[in-house]
């Protein structure tokens, strides 16, 4: 049996413990918390265990993709801590003012790192350890561990909702609110932000679909109890989303429900009979063309009525402060292209570009858009990693929704489909908030990505081995050449 395919390895338990710790302790939105340090230590233990398995040769050639991606993420983040000579550093966008200030002050400019705030960048690099550890574990260590890690998400998600109920009864001064800066009038569970609390709930509900749909299909004895438990968990997660009062959480929970409905329909035999695969493919192409045409018409209308569109945007911006935050972040990101200001530098850089007419009493510590913030801090290299990851995930999502494949466990494919829903939901949520800036939700996203990347590895290897065995068995056996006939013919020749 392939390494990691069973739950017998002693190193699986520390991995699950580290995953649970990252989910429960990684709900803060600021850096340097002791809870994040515990999650990072757990991530280091997991990476150490993975390194030991790698040196033992337990991973195959198919593991190179996830390993290379993890190394690229770590390299691009740590690259900003490399010191550069003044002749190079001063020519980078956004650094000339600092250089001129040092010269005017009579200070000899020293070698400085690419990041404007090396300490913040170092803390941000350390925060990547838990999600990288979770991603590599789910992508490389087999289906049994992936299932157990997903169960950990369900357990922590349910406990988070129960904790949120206790926080509501305890009021704003409840000691169960673990973060100083938090939403005092809403349940937050293990998080500091109610939006992230609801995000864990809808992600857990999506993962739960992999089990509940399978139990409905099996219809075996004892499945009724499991379905009742699934219904109770669904009710818990839905309550978590509703009690948070998050607009994005509610919308994405409904979108996740549509994704689970699509999963259920895709496995219903009657649906496959009524709607053949070729018709689904034609419908998908038609939908794509329709969306493209709609986008083109919308762009044309926006061009013709540009004044009205601009007025609408200004009105929306006046009611929604995030529009101004997006605009300022975009302006700052453009000024620091192509290498960015440094991971973790958003708060200080944003203040330099704030419009005095739109300054608010509240401190803007996040862009409320993970992708814009990543562009500002990491520049073009970070966006390149995101693009590569997006292409890989889109390809994996296309494979996993293409229908059942021979030799692939139905549950693993179902879990991969649920993971694709989680990836899409968190990616959309990151357009209007910053869920991936919390260690807990970053680990959920990493787990979903690992499930998508690794769901076919074990089965592909088994199919390859089986195919080779069939070829060896079916090939006619050749008798090795023997020297005995040559000896006999020589004797016969001598006797003759």
375 Cβ partners below 8 Å, 6+ apart?
Answer: 333, 340, 382, 383
Report which of 385, 360, 375 is spatially closest to residue 329, judged by C-alpha positions. Answer: 375
- Each residue's pLDDT tens digit, 200-213: 999 999 999 888 88
Q: How far apart are CA 420 and CA 200, in angstroms?
A: 15
The alpha carbon of 175 is separated from its chain's Cα centroid by a whole number of angstroms, namely 31
Q: What is the pLDDT of residue 472?
A: 44
Q: What is the pLDDT of residue 270?
A: 47
Q: How far apart are CA 239 and CA 146, in angstroms?
A: 26
94 Cβ partners below 8 Å, 6+ apart?
Answer: 116, 335, 336, 341
Q: Is the pLDDT of residue 252 over 90?
A: yes
Q: Which residues pair with 84 in a beta bridge?
A: 112
Q: How far apart are CA 256 and CA 234, in angstroms?
A: 12
Question: Distance from first CA to last CA of the chain, Å, rounded?
Answer: 61
- CA angle 368/369/374 to nearest 5° reads 120
Q: Can you give the residue ranges of every domain in the chain?
A: 12-80+115-304+360-471
Burial class of 479 by CB neighbour count within 10 A (0 to 12, 13 to 18, 19+) = exposed
Q: What is the pLDDT of residue 304?
A: 60
CA atoms within 13 A on the CB side of 289: 6
Q: What is the pLDDT of residue 315?
A: 52
Q: What is the pLDDT of residue 160?
A: 95
- Each residue's pLDDT tens digit, 285-295: 554 455 456 55
Q: Which residues pair with 112 in a beta bridge?
A: 84
- Each residue's pLDDT tens digit, 124-179: 999 999 999 999 999 988 888 899 999 999 999 999 999 999 999 988 888 889 88
Q: Under a CB-based contact definition with an 8 Å cutoff, are residues 81 and 128 in contact?
A: no
pLDDT band, residue 269 (cuts 50/70/90): low
* Strand ranges (E), 219-284: none
Q: What is the pLDDT of residue 371?
A: 92
Residue owning tokens 């838990």: 130
Instruction: Look up residue 436 and give its DSSP letter.
Output: G
19 Cβ partners below 8 Å, 6+ apart?
Answer: 134, 137, 149, 152, 443, 447
Q: What is the pLDDT of residue 76?
A: 86
Q: What is the pLDDT of residue 217?
A: 73
pLDDT band, residue 363 (cuts 50/70/90): confident
DSSP assignment string, 360-412: -SS-----S-HHHHHHHHHHHHHHHHHHHHHHHHHHHHHHHTS---TT--HHH
Q: Is the pLDDT of residue 356 over 80?
A: no
Report which of 105, 62, 114, 56 is spatially closest to residue 84, judged by C-alpha positions. Answer: 114
Instruction: Evaluate the omega torsion of the peptide bond into residue 338 and state whether it is cis, within 30 degrees of 0.
Output: yes
pLDDT greater at residue 463 or residue 97? 97
DSSP assignment string, 206-217: HHHHHHHHHHHH
- Percent of the chain, pLDDT > 70? 75
Q: Which of 5-9, 44-48, 160-164 has the lowest mean pLDDT?
A: 5-9
CA dist 9 to 2, 6, 190, 313, 495, Å? 11, 7, 30, 56, 69
Q: Tell me the average pLDDT of the chain.
A: 79
């Amino acid at each position: 049996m392939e390494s990691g395919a069973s739950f017998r390895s002693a190193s699986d338990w520390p991995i699950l413990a580290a995953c649970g710790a990252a989910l429960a302790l990684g709900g803060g939105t600021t850096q340097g918390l002791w809870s994040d340090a515990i999650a990072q230590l757990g991530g280091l233990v997991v990476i150490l265990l993975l390194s030991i398995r790698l040196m033992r040769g337990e991973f195959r050639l198919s593991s190179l993709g996830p390993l290379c991606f993890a190394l690229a993420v770590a390299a691009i983040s740590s690259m900003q801590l490399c010191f550069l000579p003044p002749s190079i550093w001063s020519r980078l966008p956004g650094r000339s003012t600092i250089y001129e200030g040092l010269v005017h002050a009579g200070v000899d400019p020293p070698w400085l790192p690419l990041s404007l705030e090396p300490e913040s960048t170092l803390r941000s690099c350390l925060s990547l350890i838990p999600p990288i550890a979770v991603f590599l574990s789910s992508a490389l260590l087999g289906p049994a561990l992936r299932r157990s890690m997903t169960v950990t998400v369900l357990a922590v998600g349910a406990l988070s909702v129960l904790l949120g109920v206790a926080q509501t009864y305890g009021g704003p001064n409840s000691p169960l609110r673990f973060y100083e800066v938090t939403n005092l009038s809403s349940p937050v569970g293990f998080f500091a932000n109610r939006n992230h609390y609801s995000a864990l709930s809808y992600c857990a509900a999506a993962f739960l679909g992999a089990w509940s749909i399978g139990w409905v299909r099996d219809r075996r004895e004892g499945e009724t109890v499991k379905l009742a438990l699934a219904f109770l968990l669904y009710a818990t997660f839905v309550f978590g989303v509703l009690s948070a009062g998050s607009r994005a959480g509610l919308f994405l929970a409904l979108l996740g429900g549509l994704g689970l409905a699509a999963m259920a329909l895709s496995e219903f035999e009657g649906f496959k009979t009524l709607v053949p695969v070729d018709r689904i493919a034609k419908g998908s192409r038609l939908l794509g063309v329709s969306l493209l045409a709609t986008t083109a018409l919308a762009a044309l209308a926006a061009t013709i009525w540009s004044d009205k569109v601009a007025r609408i945007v200004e009105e929306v911006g006046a009611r929604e402060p995030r529009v101004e935050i997006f605009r300022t972040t975009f302006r700052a990101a453009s000024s620091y292209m192509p290498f960015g200001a440094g991971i973790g530098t958003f708060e200080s850089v944003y203040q330099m570009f704030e419009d005095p007419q739109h300054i608010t009493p509240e401190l803007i510590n996040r862009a409320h858009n993970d992708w814009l913030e990543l562009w500002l801090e990491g520049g073009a290299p970070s966006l390149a990693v995101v693009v590569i990851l997006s292409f890989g995930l889109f390809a994996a999502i296309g494979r996993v929704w293409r229908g059942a494949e021979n030799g692939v466990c139905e549950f693993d494919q179902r879990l991969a489909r649920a993971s694709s829903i989680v990836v899409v939901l968190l990616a959309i949520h990151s357009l209007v908030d910053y869920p991936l800036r919390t260690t807990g939700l970053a680990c959920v996203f990493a787990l979903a990505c690992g499930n998508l990347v690794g769901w076919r590895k074990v089965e592909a290897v088994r199919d390859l081995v089986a195919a080779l065995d069939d070829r060896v068995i079916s090939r006619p056996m050749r008798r090795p050449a023997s020297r005995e006939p040559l000896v006999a013919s020589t004797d016969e020749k001598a006797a003759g």
